[in-house]
Amino acid sequence: MSSSPCSARRVSPALRRPEGEREARRDRSRGALLGLALGDALGAPFEGWRRAEIPAPLPEFAGGGTHALPPGAWTDDTALALCLADALLANPELDPADLLSRFCRWAEAGENSATGIVVGIGRTTAVALERFRAEGSLNGPRQGVAPTNGGVMRLAPVAIRWQFVPSRAGRIARRQSLVTHALPECLAAAEWLAAILTAALAGAGKAALATPPGAELAPHLGVLAEGRFWQADPATLAADGMALATLEAALWAVAGAADFADALRRAVALGGDTDTSGALAGQIAGAIWGASAIPQVWLEKLHESAHITARADALFDAAAG
């Protein structure tokens, strides 16, 4: 792990900063889930665009894109995160069959979608749901698929629910990835991201990004385990839809950001899988800076932000007892 620039900037943005440790944790929990949705919605209009095509300054929540979404609407990242939140509220240990059933209801009937219409289902997820329907398989495919980012893009609810028991957060992070994204890189990325998020939710600030992945995870994480993202040249960042590349892009975006909004803009501006880079950067940045650091105008533009806040609160209340 490289020496950390985490002390370089201590951002204190919150005019509405909550009082007390419990309320500070609630604020960061809300930030993680709202951040996931905001990053998704911010990036959705530019999904698949090359970096050079992304406008600067970035148009914010204008809608459009591949899925012709209305302004402030989210894609599969947030829909599946909300399905995961619901599954954790039903069973905190997470029942894989229940989670897959919820994913199927999203795919077939738009449950937890922003518009009632399913958008953005990834190939690996589609194969996993088909296997579940046809054979009852509870594990995602390991053959014929790439290690894509579906298991990390939706992770925040696990970290919120298990923030007081980080080892359990890691185990359930793997469990939720396994149902669709079962390759070793995907499982390792999910477990490590859970550790980063739980550290951030506990109040570590940017130092959370320096959370070590553990000896058993590091071999699956490549340059991520070496902390390259702290000083990476953006030209080396792919943001191409793979789990490790997208996570590296998001970590880079947050590591160099001045505040919550800057982190999400930096992630989306990389191009490529912009909605998921945004969703990943958003959940990390939100866990670090909290909902009170999110621009009010962003919350007003996000589809159903009160509903997302309520889901985060339910997870937090279940966690905190």
104/207 with CB nearer Mg ion: 104
Six token digits for residue 162:
């298990």
Closer to Mg ion by Cβ: residue 72 or 120: 120
Q: Which one of 21-29, 75-83, 127-135, 310-318 is the stretch in contact with Mg ion (CB under 5 A)?
A: 75-83
Q: Does 76 bind Mg ion (CB under 5 A)?
A: yes
Burial class of 261 by CB neighbour count within 10 A (0 to 12, 13 to 18, 19+)? buried
Q: Which of 75, 149, 274, 305 binds Mg ion (CB under 5 A)?
A: 75
CB 162 within 8 A of CB 168: yes
Told to check if 60 binds Mg ion by CB under 5 A, we report no
Q: Choose one: 68-76, 138-146, 188-196, 262-270; the region binding Mg ion (CB under 5 A).
A: 68-76
**Measured from the CB atom, is 44 or 201 closer to Mg ion?**
44
Q: Which of residues 98-117 bind Mg ion (CB under 5 A)?
A: none
Closest distance of CB 291 from Mg ion, Å: 22
What is the size of the binding site for Mg ion (CB under 5 A)?
Answer: 5
Of 150 and 166, which CB lies nearer to Mg ion in the complex structure?
A: 150
* Minimum gap (Å) between residue 196 Cβ and Mg ion: 21
Residue 177 makes contact with Mg ion by CB under 5 A? no
- Which CB, 77 or 185, lies closer to Mg ion? 77
**Residues whose CB is less than 8 angstroms from the CB of residue 315 and which lie 6 or more positions away in sequence, other chains included:** 29, 33, 85, 88, 89, 157, 160, 161
Least separation in angstroms between CB 119 and Mg ion: 7
Which residue of this chain has its Cβ atom nearest to Mg ion in the complex?
75
Q: Which range touches Mg ion (CB under 5 A), out of 8-16, 49-57, 118-126, 306-314?
A: 118-126
Among 65, 67, 69, 77, binds Mg ion (CB under 5 A): 77
When binding is defined by CB under 5 A, the residue of 39, 120, 213, 241 that contacts Mg ion is 120
Under rule CB under 5 A, which residues in 259-318 are in contact with Mg ion? 275
CB of 276 to Mg ion, least distance (A): 5
Q: What are the backbone dihedrals phi and psi of residue 317, each rounded to the nearest 5 degrees, phi first?
A: -60, -40
Q: Which stretch binds Mg ion (CB under 5 A): 77-85, 87-95, 124-132, 203-211?
A: 77-85
Q: Per CB under 5 A, which region of 54-62, 71-79, 158-166, 307-315 contacts Mg ion? A: 71-79
Distance of closest approach, residue 122 Cβ to Mg ion, in angstroms: 8
CA distances from 213 to 195, 197, 247, 264 (A): 8, 12, 13, 23
Q: How far is the CB of 75 from Mg ion (least distance, A)?
A: 3
Residues forming the site for Mg ion (CB under 5 A): 75-77, 120, 275
